[in-house]
Structure 1
Amino acid sequence: MNFNRTLSVAALALIIAAGTANAQVKKRAPQPSPRNKPGISRSQLVADGALPTDKNVVIGKLPNGLTYYIRHNEQPQNRAELYLVNKVGSILEDDNQQGLAHFTEHMAFNGTRDFPKNALVNYLQKSGIRFGADLNAYTSFDETVYQLPLPTDSAAVFENGFKILANWAGYVSFDPAEIDKERGVVLEEERLRGKNAQERLSQQTLPALLNNSRYANRIPIGKEDILKSFTPETIKSFYHDWYRPDLQAVIAVGDFDVKRVEALIKANFSGLQNPPNEKPRPDYAVPPMPGTVVKIATDKEFPYTMAQIIMKHPQRVAKTEAGLMQDMRVNLFNYMLSQRMNELQQRPDPPFLYARASYGPLIGKMDAFSAVVVGKPDNFENSVKAMMAEVERARKFGFTLTEFERARQAALIGMQNAFYERNKTNSANYVREYQQNFLKGEAIPGIEFEYNYYISNMNKISLEEMNAMAGKYISDQNRTIVVQGPEKDKDKLPDEKTILNWIGTAGNGITAYVDNVTSKPLMEKAPQPGKIVAETQDSTMGTTTLTLSNGVKVIMKPTDFKNDQILLNGFAAGGTSLASDNDYTSASLAASIIGSSGISEFNQGQLDKMLADKNVSISPYITETTQGIRGVFSPRDLETAMQLTNLYITQPRKDQDIWQGNINQTKALLANRNLDPGSVYQDTVSSVLSGNNFRGMPTTVARLSSASLDKAYNFYKDRFADASNFTFVLVGSFDPILIRPMLEAYLGSLPSTNKKETFRNLKMYPLPGAYTKTVNKGIDDKANVQLIFSGPYMYNDMNNIQMDALEEVLNIKLTERLREQESGSYAPGIKATYVKNPESRYTVTIAFTCATANVDKLIAAALEEINKIKQTGATQADIDKFKAEDARSTQVQLKQNVAWLGLLASSAQNNENPDQILSHVKNLDTVTPQTTKDAAVKYLNMTNLARVILLPEKK
């Protein structure tokens, strides 16, 4: 369970990761031919221009007002998504109820009329549904949503799902003893997600952003004093007033009989009643405000300097043709503006660490044009001005015709992909659409209609219309400017007058954008192809393995899981383990730098533009033990994908601007990293996990200063110089016969030197022994704990199953003990990992967050539960839960391209027989209480236990 606790302003630190991620080539597919358009007559649109409703969804309303949506969908097979959506959130809480909308969500899992106490979670776990991963819920300002994915091949479990939803909707027990137990859990959830700089900044900025409206005072987690002291009558009152059928919807999408599901909904929900003299549901909004409000906020632990400019507008919900057309315009506008910001970050000295500007939904019946910039600590003014200058450039001069055409292609291909996959769409995607229809009234015309509408109307959007949008969205009215930064840099931050001046003068002297494009092909001519010299079949797995004349192996598995998807992973042994210590930092940057530098004679900007009519993403990678190429693309773009693969290997591009820009960006990001307690703590965790090897640690400014582009480029070239030990795995929608000429041309022509290289074992794993590492950082009462068991391992399928079982049993037991019994931690997590390369090793990590005073008690409780398993093994009930969950998870994964790609690639890398996956579910029966006991004794050895603890700074 979770809650939406903050808005984008307070969550912007999360954007940093996206802004510094390895760049990938993301391409767009061509505009669909009009010959392929499905026929939709104008008669499907009613006279007032309202959009039609998808005929494949059954929408109904019971006499008590409850709405339901039902759709048959077979992706995934034998599965269904059941949701209970309530127009009930924290915005409806009285002053003495703050936090009880979210608390109500928790109590739904702690006892209902038909499922007392923990019976509901226990029952679902036995049915193969994981608590948290599958079974979940969230509470926001305006809604509370419960999700229940279920198997449909078990009639009893599936039908009981509707009883469970009905119990949540109207029959939660609110046992006083369970309420008191859950208080600690909810407070620990607040500690886990809050008690940090982000939360403290949110408390400072939300009143300004939300105009001191009710939204600013109804954060879903609520107030600690209320959570500690509210009475059962208070929460029952909230539930009685607002959990009622006229504010609820049941959504059911999956592999089932629609008529049967409709009958189940009527049988389970018709008995729910609205309360007498029911309260009208208030319709809250954030009122507009004249002019501009500026808020400057700082925090001791916030590591970035950033600004966000939010220009608020009335919310628009697409219900008509005109609304859908405006959605199309907004998508084009956002795409073009985003592309320009990306180009700025490709400069040798980018003016900011991260910047984005776009128009979209905000909150409280508002949309907004939001521009956010994460500035360089030493030149925040230039960062703000550079971002706003680009916004102002769009407002003054508009966009170019070539930009506009690329944006249209991008929008069309997105719609085309959805249309091609219309019979392979995951049920959860439909649930999201119907949820928004119920909550906001967004139209659900269906993919056939939307596809036809896009194809028919995209060319009706003019460049003049697009160029007018920036002027419409960018305003100094109803505007909020938020500046956030480290407390130590408070004197360097602009005051209100200064930030307004920066923004007001940002566009002085700007000129129109120049679109740098090329008409050259990726390859002037195809390379000299190799030949297929050997072929083997695995009829059991449905794979074909080809050996090409240069030594390259290709494993092919055609599937029908997706209509328009092929996945690729090509790899060879070696990786950064072959770099010397002196060259390691350069080597570790090689793949990300080369992958964002373009290829051959084309820089990244040119490459993105010249491939705008393709749907393909190809990128190189280098890990500790491997180097390779991964990608995803449409079958129609197979040749482009093969060309890109070939060029990343044979003609990588050395771009000094990209190198210098990345080095400068990374150094700037590191400048205040030590202010964040989580980052400092993670450095210690990384040190433990790598045995204090600097290669396993985050880089430093000193190491970056010693790195060079020449070393990185030469290492990259060396790693891809010999294709003879490469294996490529292809999974997806293709004909294994028809693609052979492409494989021979672009993979068979790769250089081959037969060096027979492999990785080095650098022994980067936890040091043996029992020891404790304590980090004192942070001002809040918040502790993080990791208990790390590790050691040598015999890697094989049977041992792996036993380790997976041990992981799940520990998850069950420690959740029961640390969360439910002790009320000491919200979400304890156990992760068991095992690897064969470079050395067969295992690691079991137990992690949780808690109050500082509870660290020793919860560590002792965790170790006590471990000792119980060591003495008697897991209970059969918990083992049965693991088997059910793993079996159902495996059944779903065997219908996914990404799972098959991972299986075939890992089998090749580990020299294993992939066929063993077919006996995996049967082998789950080898797990018994005795085997879990043996595994616990063997792998959870207290003499090889590292404790890594984050505590607040000592006062």
Structure 2
Amino acid sequence: MRIDFKLSVAALALCVASTGAFAQVKKKSAPSPKQKPTDPAVQIKASTLPVDKDVIIGKLPNGLTYYIRQNSLPQNRAELYLINKAGSILETDAQQGLAHFTEHMAFNGTRDFPKNALVNFLQSSGVRFGADLNAFTSFDETVYQLPLPTDSAKVFERGFDILANWAGFVSFDQAELDKERGVILEELRLRGKNAQERLQQQVLPVILNNSRYATRLPKGKEEVIKSFNLATIKSFYEDWYRPNLQAVIAVGDFDPKRVEQLIKEKFSQLKNPASPKPRTEYTVTAAPGTSVKFATDPEFPYTVAQIIVKMPGTQVRTTAEYLQSMRSGLFNQMLNARLNELLQKSNPPFLYGSATYGNFIGKQDAFTATVVARPGELETAIKTLVAETERARKFGFTLTEFERAKQNALVQMGDAYKERDKTRSSNFVNEYQQHFLNGSGIPGIAWEYQFYLDNIDKITLEQMNAMAARVIAGQSRSIIVEAPDNEKPKLPTEAALLGWIVEAGKNLTAYVDNVSTKPLIENIPDAGEIVDQTRDDSIGVTTLTFKNGVKAILKPTDFKNNQVILTGYSFGGTSLVSDAEYTSASMASSVVGNSGVSEFSQIQLQKMMTGKSVSIEPYISEYTQGFSGNSTTKDLGTALQLIYLYFTQPRKDKDIWESNMSQYRSLLVNRNLDPNSVFQDTVSAVLNRYNMRAMVPTTERLNTASLDKAFDFYKSSFGNANGFVFTFVGSFDIDAIKPLLATYLGSLPSSETKKTYKDLGMYPPAGLVSKTVNKGIGEKSTVQLVFSGDYDYSEVNNMQLDALEEVLNIKLIERLREQESGVYAPGVRSIYQKIPAGKYTVTISFGCAPENVDKLIAATMDEINKIKTNGAQATDIQKFKAEDMRSKQVQLRENYFWAGYLASGSQYDLPPHRILYYPKTAEKVTVQSTKDAANKYLSGKNLIKLILMPEKK
């Protein structure tokens, strides 16, 4: 059993931080720009930050800016972006939502790419719609991303035509526009019509001080989207899509001179309006004093409080501002470490807490403290959160905290510097985007690392404490409380809430930093014996077998300079325990993994890891137990020591157990308020034949669990290392790490008996099943169609099922989205397994209006029947092959791919060099094979229909 604590902390976070920008499919989150206030105590002469010498920055006569950087990772790939300094903030009343709508229309026809020609061309070139080809609209910008292969000059150069078409030649065909209205409305339905949106409407005017940002959300207004005419949207495009507000970013494996020539050729033809409108810079004016807002909703399952202290926004353009950004990073690290410690108490005062200083919105910065309370315990949560921030404000930080934070910052920057020639192109794009939009500095990692080395010791503890005193006690403050309707009677009055905050700051004492100076392992174990060593030269893999039965699969790579990815597994898992013992067993790895090791608590262990880049987590799944983790090359020894201790000296921490149980119970209280949670709980139950292990535990079931049972199960799972297989992929020398492996893996205790697993029968039932859940007050539905059955696991069959998944994805986007205008993002996912038994599922899912459920299910089945009757279209098969081949080319140069590939191959007893046959396997996908696969895997004999509908009125 696992309860994932995935929470949109507040409506504010939903709007500003993540979904304020509505994407064509999904916005990829970008790192926040380093925008922090200048500390008056800075002891460094301010000078403008240099510009990274490896980036070419230019401007065309029409005002368009361009950034070009040659970068070889991934090989034969490039990231092309078009940045428009125009978003929803510039819309008139009659255009609310049309910045986002304009973004959609760019994919529905341009001068050189009528209707869907652009998407078809890119898919045929190996670019996936949504996963690769994407765009998003936010308050102040609209961004288009176009990743392309560079080993085809024709495809790559055509990409600049696409960007130029987006920049100035969108067609706005009336028929396409009318069809897209439905798609946009379905996107708004998918992302909205829920508790978060309803709360957002209540709190944003307070948070944003009734500024223009509060009335120009990127989603716009439904009535505008339904009724606007062609002239209105074209007016927005013509006013704001102009070269003096645009930038082209090109980063990748290409000749930069050729790229610069292409930009000049393709974009010089763009023209600004004869009388351009002024691009107004809007702000959120800080209001002095404290504003308080309570907001409730019947479907919101959490009680959340936010204290937002707003301050003038700044940029990182000078060395002094950069130094202050370093202080802000240290401040956030230290303060949140304290809050995280509170969660490890036996009775934690809240479910989640954080406090961060950084960029906010509308040229503002903010110190934002957020807490998620346990049901009925808002007062405790708020008082604890405020007490910790006030403790930092009054007493500052300790010297040991400060030194740890500096070490961690140096290690993080040092790791980035070591990978400077192995950095992915997409990482640079975000920096250049912020440089164009906000003027943020782009000095480059070499300069930044050296600046850290030269200046981090110029930051003093006194400066840090002065910063804490300043940002926590700002003069413009908003306090937001969001809660379920059923908590409304328990909410305080505004006066009582402010009283809690005042009271929380009284009678505080300074923080005490509990650290250990002992070594992780005092007595190094005697090394075990390597009894066998084999090598597969075809893929550069060496396998070591130790006398205790442990195996290590090793693949040294040059994909990264300082990264090692490791996994470990053996068979067994929770399948070996009875249903009565399952609840305890399912918590074992989480509790032990959060309890530290040996004599060290998790808090002490985390502090001991200061200055190291290492992460090791034990896990126990249904059929295996093992480890996942990563480290730098130099810290691999520490990673292995942690694995050794998790085997031999796991720690039983009663406080962690009580903390986890308290969290679980609290999360169950209002879980049934959220329609999506109720639906997914039903989905899981149905697809696993109502096996209790797949169902969310009740409070009564939690009460049967015990720490002793969980700990005993953990020890039994890891008490015998015989049969464990570890995989190491990354930057290491085999001869150099063999002694480490022998010491910490070869010495693990073992017996002659190897564990196996038990088939629990947790797979979908046969036959036709239909289940409808009526939950939710919003007019929205969710549909899942699940085909399932027995499966003969093989590379050929896997390829056929992957192909069927992709061609069905293509057809459902064309039918349900483009033709029916009934959904935003239909999805198809195939899953196949060999353990515990050969089984497959193909799941088709989409969200839609309740009145369209039956029609869209029928359309889906119609598209399936077409493939069953005629096979997939040859053009769609070619798209799949191109996309899959391009994806595989990138994966083959990634450590994470190889770690998963080698580990799964070992579990499934597959030859490690099977990847070499991939091209020939792909050739076996044909029109006839897709027809056969559709009839075999989508026969409809085993079909489960799961539907979420609103509550009956």
TM-score tier (shorter): over 0.9
Cα-to-partner distance string for 1:715-742 (whole Å, 9 max, x where unaligned): 0000111111000100000000111110
Confirm or deny: 8 A CA contact 1:9 1:308 kept in the other structure.
no
1:695 corresponds in structure 2 to 693
2:828 corresponds in structure 1 to 830
Tell me the distance in 2 between the aligned counterparts of 1:189 and 1:871. 32
Tell me the distance in 1 between the aligned counterparts of 2:853 and 2:720. 52
Report SS of the residue matched to 1:739.
Answer: helix
Tell me the distance in 1 between the aligned counterparts of 2:495 and 2:11. 21
Confirm or deny: 8 A CA contact 2:45 2:319 kept in the other structure.
no
Deviation at 1:293, TM superposition (A): 0.7
1:560 corresponds in structure 2 to 558
Confirm or deny: 8 A CA contact 1:403 1:515 kept in the other structure.
yes
2:866 corresponds in structure 1 to 868
Deviation at 1:13, TM superposition (A): 12
Cα-to-partner distance string for 1:311-334 (whole Å, 9 max, x where unaligned): 001111100000000000000000
Q: Comparing 904-913 with 935-944, which one deviates more in the overlay?
A: 935-944
2:107 corresponds in structure 1 to 109
Tell me the distance in 2 between the aligned counterparts of 1:565 and 1:490. 50
Deviation at 1:8, TM superposition (A): 5.5
1:575 corresponds in structure 2 to 573
Deviation at 1:497, TM superposition (A): 1.0
Report SS of the residue matched to 1:927.
Answer: coil
**Structure 1: which 4+ aligned runs deviate by more than 3 Å?**
6-16
Tell me the distance in 1 between the aligned counterparts of 2:921 and 2:631. 35
1:903 to 901, 904, 927: 901
Tell me the distance in 2 between the aligned counterparts of 1:767 and 1:291. 60
Deviation at 1:492, TM superposition (A): 0.7
Give matches, 1:26-45, under 5 Å: none
Cα-to-partner distance string for 1:416-440 (whole Å, 9 max, x where unaligned): 0110000000000000000000000
Aligned residues: 921
1:748 corresponds in structure 2 to 746
Tell me the distance in 2 between the aligned counterparts of 1:410 and 1:198. 35
1:218 to 216, 219, 222: 216
Tell me the distance in 2 between the aligned counterparts of 1:700 and 1:255. 54
Deviation at 1:629, TM superposition (A): 1.2
One-letter identity of the residue aligned with 1:498 = A
Confirm or deny: 8 A CA contact 2:785 2:946 kept in the other structure.
yes
Provide closer, same or farther for how the CA distance between residues 763 and 14 of structure 1 changes in structure 2, counting only shifts above 3 A.
Answer: farther
One-letter identity of the residue aligned with 1:299 = D
Provide closer, same or farther for how the CA distance between residues 821 and 13 of structure 1 changes in structure 2, counting only shifts above 3 A.
Answer: closer
Tell me the distance in 2 between the aligned counterparts of 1:450 and 1:146. 28
Cα-to-partner distance string for 1:790-836 (whole Å, 9 max, x where unaligned): 11000000000000000001100011110000000000000000000
Deviation at 1:549, TM superposition (A): 1.1
One-letter identity of the residue aligned with 2:819 = Q
Confirm or deny: 8 A CA contact 1:291 1:476 kept in the other structure.
no
Confirm or deny: 8 A CA contact 1:534 1:547 kept in the other structure.
yes
Tell me the distance in 2 between the aligned counterparts of 1:49 and 1:853. 62
The reply to whether residue 779 of structure 1 matches residue 777 of structure 2 is yes
> Between the two proteins, what is the percent identity of the paired residues?
63
Cα-to-partner distance string for 1:356-397 (whole Å, 9 max, x where unaligned): 001011110011000000001121101110011000000010
Q: Comparing 668-677 with 608-617, which one deviates more in the overlay?
A: 608-617
1:639 corresponds in structure 2 to 637
Tell me the distance in 1 between the aligned counterparts of 2:923 and 2:655. 57
One-letter identity of the residue aligned with 1:466 = M
One-letter identity of the residue aligned with 1:610 = M
2:377 corresponds in structure 1 to 379
Confirm or deny: 8 A CA contact 1:91 1:218 kept in the other structure.
yes
Report SS of the residue matched to 1:630.
Answer: strand
Deviation at 1:699, TM superposition (A): 2.3
2:434 corresponds in structure 1 to 436
Confirm or deny: 8 A CA contact 2:530 2:544 kept in the other structure.
yes
Give matches, 1:62-81, under 5 Å: 62-81=60-79
Report SS of the residue matched to 2:941.
Answer: helix
The reply to whether residue 311 of structure 1 matches residue 306 of structure 2 is no
Question: Gapped runs of 5+ residues in structure 2?
Answer: 1-7, 19-43
Confirm or deny: 8 A CA contact 1:348 1:656 kept in the other structure.
yes
Give matches, 1:460-609, under 5 Å: 460-475=458-473, 477-609=475-607
Q: Comparing 69-78 with 609-618, which one deviates more in the overlay?
A: 609-618
Tell me the distance in 1 between the aligned counterparts of 2:10 and 2:669. 23
Confirm or deny: 8 A CA contact 2:11 2:197 kept in the other structure.
no
Tell me the distance in 2 between the aligned counterparts of 1:781 and 1:229. 20
Report SS of the residue matched to 1:762.
Answer: coil
Tell me the distance in 1 between the aligned counterparts of 2:942 and 2:391. 60
Question: Gapped runs of 5+ residues in structure 1?
Answer: 1-5, 17-45
Provide closer, same or farther for how the CA distance between residues 578 and 14 of structure 1 changes in structure 2, counting only shifts above 3 A.
Answer: farther
2:722 to 718, 721, 724: 724
1:798 corresponds in structure 2 to 796
Tell me the distance in 1 between the aligned counterparts of 2:794 and 2:695. 29
Tell me the distance in 2 between the aligned counterparts of 1:890 and 1:302. 41
Provide closer, same or farther for how the CA distance between residues 476 and 405 of structure 1 changes in structure 2, counting only shifts above 3 A.
Answer: closer
2:912 corresponds in structure 1 to 914
Confirm or deny: 8 A CA contact 1:890 1:921 kept in the other structure.
no
Tell me the distance in 1 between the aligned counterparts of 2:493 and 2:77. 56
One-letter identity of the residue aligned with 1:212 = N
2:153 corresponds in structure 1 to 155
1:292 corresponds in structure 2 to 290
Confirm or deny: 8 A CA contact 2:376 2:487 kept in the other structure.
no
Provide closer, same or farther for how the CA distance between residues 601 and 707 of structure 1 changes in structure 2, counting only shifts above 3 A.
Answer: same
Deviation at 1:229, TM superposition (A): 0.5
Normalised by the length of structure 2, the TM-score is 0.96
Deviation at 1:47, TM superposition (A): 9.0
Give matches, 1:329-478, under 5 Å: 329-475=327-473, 477-478=475-476
2:839 corresponds in structure 1 to 841
Tell me the distance in 1 between the aligned counterparts of 2:148 and 2:375. 50
Tell me the distance in 2 between the aligned counterparts of 1:149 and 1:208. 39
One-letter identity of the residue aligned with 2:498 = L
Deviation at 1:476, TM superposition (A): 5.4
Report SS of the residue matched to 1:74.
Answer: coil
Deviation at 1:459, TM superposition (A): 0.4
2:614 corresponds in structure 1 to 616
Deviation at 1:470, TM superposition (A): 1.6
1:41 corresponds in structure 2 to none
One-letter identity of the residue aligned with 1:591 = S
Confirm or deny: 8 A CA contact 2:525 2:744 kept in the other structure.
yes
Confirm or deny: 8 A CA contact 2:15 2:200 kept in the other structure.
no
2:187 corresponds in structure 1 to 189
One-letter identity of the residue aligned with 2:698 = T
1:630 corresponds in structure 2 to 628
Deviation at 1:11, TM superposition (A): 3.9
2:762 corresponds in structure 1 to 764
Tell me the distance in 1 between the aligned counterparts of 2:756 and 2:224. 60
Cα-to-partner distance string for 1:104-163 (whole Å, 9 max, x where unaligned): 000000000000000000000000000000000000000000000000000000000000
1:26 corresponds in structure 2 to none
Deviation at 1:700, TM superposition (A): 2.2
Tell me the distance in 1 between the aligned counterparts of 2:70 and 2:45. 29
Tell me the distance in 2 between the aligned counterparts of 1:921 and 1:661. 51
Deviation at 1:475, TM superposition (A): 2.6
Deviation at 1:867, TM superposition (A): 0.4
One-letter identity of the residue aligned with 2:916 = L
Confirm or deny: 8 A CA contact 2:9 2:370 kept in the other structure.
no
Tell me the distance in 1 between the aligned counterparts of 2:825 and 2:467. 45
Deviation at 1:922, TM superposition (A): 2.8
Provide closer, same or farther for how the CA distance between residues 13 and 280 of structure 1 changes in structure 2, counting only shifts above 3 A.
Answer: closer
Deviation at 1:9, TM superposition (A): 3.9
1:23 corresponds in structure 2 to none
The reply to whether residue 124 of structure 1 matches residue 122 of structure 2 is yes
Deviation at 1:409, TM superposition (A): 0.7
Confirm or deny: 8 A CA contact 1:306 1:483 kept in the other structure.
yes
Tell me the distance in 1 between the aligned counterparts of 2:227 and 2:912. 56
Deviation at 1:698, TM superposition (A): 2.1
Tell me the distance in 1 between the aligned counterparts of 2:917 and 2:61. 50
Confirm or deny: 8 A CA contact 1:558 1:734 kept in the other structure.
yes
Normalised by the length of structure 1, the TM-score is 0.96
Pairwise CA RMSD:
1.3
2:28 corresponds in structure 1 to none
1:229 to 227, 230, 244: 227
Provide closer, same or farther for how the CA distance between residues 251 and 541 of structure 1 changes in structure 2, counting only shifts above 3 A.
Answer: same
2:819 to 821, 826, 847: 821
Tell me the distance in 2 between the aligned counterparts of 1:652 and 1:685. 35
